[in-house]
Amino acid sequence: MKRLETIADRSGERLDAAVARLAGISRSVAAKLIDSGSVRVGEVTPPRSHRVTEGARIVVDLPDEAPPPQPEDIPIPIVYSDRWIVVIAKPAGLVVHPAPGHPSGTVVNAILARAGATPLPGEAMRPGIVHRLDAGTSGLMIVATDEEAFVELRRMMAAREVSRTYLALVEGAPPPSGEIDAPIGRSPKHRKKMAVVAGGREARTSYRRVEALPETALVEVRPHTGRTHQIRVHFSAAGYPIVGDAVYGKNRKLAHALGLARPFLHAAKLAFAHPITREAIELEEALPPDLQVALEAARSRQGR
Helix (H, G, I), strand (E, B) or coil at 105: coil
Helix (H, G, I), strand (E, B) or coil at 154: helix
- The C-alpha atoms of residue 41 and residue 53 are separated, in whole angstroms, by 10
Widest pairwise Cα distance in the chain = 65
- The C-alpha atoms of residue 180 and residue 5 are separated, in whole angstroms, by 39
- The C-alpha atoms of residue 79 and residue 86 are separated, in whole angstroms, by 8
- The C-alpha atoms of residue 142 and residue 38 are separated, in whole angstroms, by 30
- The C-alpha atoms of residue 156 and residue 33 are separated, in whole angstroms, by 25
Whether residue 262 contacts residue 252, with contact meaning beta carbons closer than 8 Å, is answered with no
Is position 16 annotated as part of the catalytic site?
no
Helix (H, G, I), strand (E, B) or coil at 164: strand
- Candidate list 134, 146, 245, 290, residue with the active-site label: 134
- The C-alpha atoms of residue 116 and residue 111 are separated, in whole angstroms, by 9
Is residue 41 left, alpha or beta, with left meaning phi > 0 and alpha meaning psi from -120 to 50?
A: beta
Q: Give the residue numbers annotated as catalytic, written as ranges.
A: 134
